[in-house]
Amino acid sequence: MSKPILVLDNVCMYFGGLKAVDNLSFTVNEGEIVGLIGPNGAGKTTVFNCITQFYKEYTGDIYFINNDVKKDLRDIKVTEIINQGLVRTFQNVELIPDLSILDNLLIGAHNQYETGIISHILRTKKAREEEQVLKEKAYEILKFLNIFELKDFYVKGQPYGVMKKIEIARTLMSNPKMIILDEPAAGLNDRETDELENLIYEIKKKFNTTILLIEHDMGFVMNICDRIVAINFGKFLAMDTPKNIQKNKDVQEAYLGSDA
């Protein structure tokens, strides 16, 4: 049996009187690719924000299990989440437009620096070496994603597909155990979507990570995911393999409406 890595247990999240997430429970196992689907406004991104602790006001529990250590994520600050091996991307790409692509990747490695500001000012040998090591790592990831030649260009002005790739590359800089992707294929054309599909497989294999993703492109989700969680109005509908999800009555109803 595969081991669970992320456990959501009766998570509720309210915005005023609105129930954005309603008693949601599901488990993601190590090495899986899990999709989170639901109609617009179903609370998918809210779930992600709860997991990564951007929202702290949820009730219920979210656990992250890394190397058999089970941690309640609520006890961890939003800026410490990345140190647990859990890292995310954003629905609208959140990059630093006026930094080069390479520098954007190095932001992903922010917490791996051991030298402080004084040694950076003095450019000590240790600081330079550390920077070099992380740069090499960034080069490797950029080569892996086929955007190495662009490394010195600003992010501003890059095509959307490249920006999406940079965001994924940035998550890889932090040696993640689990990556949370918020609509990775949104705004991509068919060819780019196919490329992304392969890329996500490759990432899973090469970096040995678990992936949880939100996506509206059903073809993409059905192809790529091992299991799918469907929610509607914050409520859990079903969690199953793509084939069974397609047959599920509740899910069909949520997307297409009921017969009656």
- 174 touches another protein by CB under 8 A: yes
- 123 touches another protein by CB under 8 A: yes
- 124 touches another protein by CB under 8 A: no
Q: How do 227-232 and 4-15 pair as beta strands?
A: unpaired
- 94 touches another protein by CB under 8 A: yes
CA-CA distance, 209 to 65, in Å (whole number)? 13
Candidate segments 24-32, 114-122, 198-206, 247-255, binder of another protein by CB under 8 A = 114-122
Residue closer to another protein by CB (options 19, 135) is 135
- 111 touches another protein by CB under 8 A: yes
Interaxial angle between packed helices 125-144 and 101-108, expressed in degrees from 0 to 180 and rounded to the nearest 10: 110
Q: Sheet harboring 86-88: ordered strands across?
A: 69-72, 59-66, 4-15, 18-29, 235-240, 227-232, 33-37, 210-214, 178-182, 86-88
- 107 touches another protein by CB under 8 A: yes
Amino acid in the structure at residue 255: Y
- 137 touches another protein by CB under 8 A: no
- 57 touches another protein by CB under 8 A: no
- 121 touches another protein by CB under 8 A: yes
Residue closer to another protein by CB (options 84, 248) is 84
Beta bridge partners of 238: 230
Q: Give min distance, CB of 89 to another protein, in A.
A: 8
